[in-house]
């Protein structure tokens, strides 16, 4: 349904060209949940925003191909893109505290979106927004619809944002770190809500996160991004249980586990590369324990069975390094 090929996003800055996204390709099928995971600054949000024309920087240049339901949407005119945004593609943002315009009631804002994309009257749209608020689990939607954003808690506001994103029955929902700004219990509630709504609305979802736990809970397929490039792509179960790229190993190792005997938090050594000077070869090489000479060349995305990675290590080497049941050879 969504098919992205070789997406490149770069910004012309005073320090030179900043390559935020460099050769990203993936597909999202109908009713599929795709997770994009990576550290902050890995280009995952920029990739999504640039797809939808939400990057307004005059110095940006975007290339590649983004096909939504078979139609190329990269380079659409503003007016055509407006019909896609909010109508066929809904978006949920990271910080619900600032995502809503403070001077309008939440109902007004939902009605605004509905009326921008449908022929509904104000009365119909208001009824629909009350219905939506109820669906996302806001108590007393009939009275809350006339309240202002500041009268809602963070979790409740995120529910409003979700209601708004769903208001025009979008075929695709893009969620940019939807739970990052929320506290832990609210995070779980919001994830449950999104899963439930995904079932009932049948939308596809692209969920952007740095939290591999969110991926494990929600995603069918995963893209692991590092420094604007895809490091590993595959089914959620493959990537989480049989990771192939050293960066993914690090990411998985960095998840604190309750049952772990080792109570120290594992971190990936080193710091992410600056997007201003991504190495020509493998971008992860400077931080990689298993660096080889060949890593100075750019590794191609390769692999089999819908599980790709960009690493020069051979299967034998990987088995040696990670000879656990979760190693590459233990695949069922």
Partner 1 sequence: MLSFIIRRLISAVLVLFAISVMVFLIFFATPGVDPAARIAGRSASPAVVAAVRAAFGLNRPLPVRYLLMMDHLFIKHDLTSYVNVNTPVIPQILHAAPVTLSLVLGAAVIWIIVGVLGGVIAAANRGKFIDPLIMFVGIAAVSVPAYWLGEVVNYFTQSKFHSSVFSWVPSSGYVSPLTNPWQWALHLLFPWLTLAALFAGIYARVLRAELVNALNEDYVRTARAKGLSERRILLRHALRCSLISIVSLFGLDFGALVGGAALLTEIVMGLPGIGQLTYNSLQNLDLPVIMGCVMYAAFFVVFANAVVDVVYALLDPRVRVA
Q: Which of 15, 103, 305, 332 binds partner 1 (CB under 8 A)?
A: 103
Q: Smaller CB distance to partner 1: residue 83 or 142?
A: 83
Start-to-end Cα distance in the chain: 29
Q: Which of 10, 42, 50, 113 binds partner 1 (CB under 8 A)?
A: 113
Taking residues 227 to 266 in sequence order and writing x for each that binds partner 1 by CB under 8 A, - otherwise, the string is ----------------------------------------
Taking residues 45 to 74 in sequence order and writing x for each that binds partner 1 by CB under 8 A, - otherwise, the string is -------x-x---x----------------
CB count within 10 Å of CB 141 equals 19
The conformation of residue 85, written as its DSSP 8-state character, comes to B
Minimum Å distance from CB 154 to partner 1? 13
CB count within 10 Å of CB 33 equals 24
Burial of 247 (0-12, 13-18, 19+ CB in 10 A): buried
205 within 8 A of 173, measured Cβ to Cβ = yes
Minimum Å distance from CB 167 to partner 1? 9
Q: Which of 38, 43, 90, 234 binds partner 1 (CB under 8 A)?
A: 90
281 Cβ partners below 8 Å, 6+ apart? 295, 296, 297, 298, 299
Which residue is listed with tokens 């809500």? 193
Using CB under 8 A, which of the segments 23-31, 119-127, 148-156, 190-198 binds partner 1? 148-156
Q: Smaller CB distance to partner 1: residue 10 or 109?
A: 109
H-state helical runs in the chain? 44-51, 78-84, 106-117, 122-135, 141-144, 154-166, 184-201, 212-218, 236-241, 246-253, 315-321
- 117 binds partner 1, rule: CB under 8 A: yes
Binding site for partner 1 (CB under 8 A): 52, 54, 58, 78-79, 82-87, 90-91, 93, 95, 98-104, 112-113, 116-117, 148, 150-151, 161, 164-165
């Amino acid at each position: 349904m969504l098919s992205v090929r070789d997406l490149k996003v770069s910004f012309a800055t005073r320090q030179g060209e900043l390559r935020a996204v460099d050769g990203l390709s993936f597909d999202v099928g109908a009713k599929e949940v795709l997770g994009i995971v990576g550290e902050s600054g890995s280009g995952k949000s920029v990739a999504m925003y640039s797809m939808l024309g939400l990057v307004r920087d005059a110095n940006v240049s975007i290339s590649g191909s983004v096909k939504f339901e078979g139609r190329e949407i990269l380079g659409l005119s503003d007016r055509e893109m407006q019909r896609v945004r909010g109508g066929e593609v809904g978006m949920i943002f990271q910080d619900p505290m600032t995502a809503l315009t403070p001077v309008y009631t939440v109902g007004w804002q939902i009605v605004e979106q509905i009326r921008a994309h449908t022929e509904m009257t104000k009365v119909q749209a208001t009824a629909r927004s009350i219905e939506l608020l109820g669906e996302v689990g806001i108590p007393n939607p009939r009275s809350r619809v006339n309240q202002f954003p500041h009268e809602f808690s963070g979790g409740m506001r995120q529910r409003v944002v979700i209601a708004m994103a769903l208001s025009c029955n979008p075929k695709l929902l893009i969620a940019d770190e939807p739970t990052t700004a929320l506290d832990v219990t609210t995070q779980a509630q919001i994830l449950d809500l999104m899963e439930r709504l995904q079932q009932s609305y049948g939308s596809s979802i692209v969920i952007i996160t740095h939290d591999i736990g969110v991926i494990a809970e929600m995603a069918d397929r995963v893209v692991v991004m590092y420094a604007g490039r895809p490091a590993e792509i595959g089914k959620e179960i493959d990537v989480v249980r049989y990771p192939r790229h050293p960066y993914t190993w690090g990411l998985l190792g960095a998840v604190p586990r309750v049952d772990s005997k080792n109570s120290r938090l594992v971190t990936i050594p080193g710091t992410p590369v600056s997007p201003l000077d991504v190495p020509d070869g493998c971008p992860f090489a400077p931080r990689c324990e298993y660096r080889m000479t060949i890593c100075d060349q750019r590794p191609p995305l390769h692999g089999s069975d819908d599980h790709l990675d960009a690493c020069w290590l051979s299967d034998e080497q990987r088995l040696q390094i990670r000879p656990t049941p979760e190693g590459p050879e233990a695949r069922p």
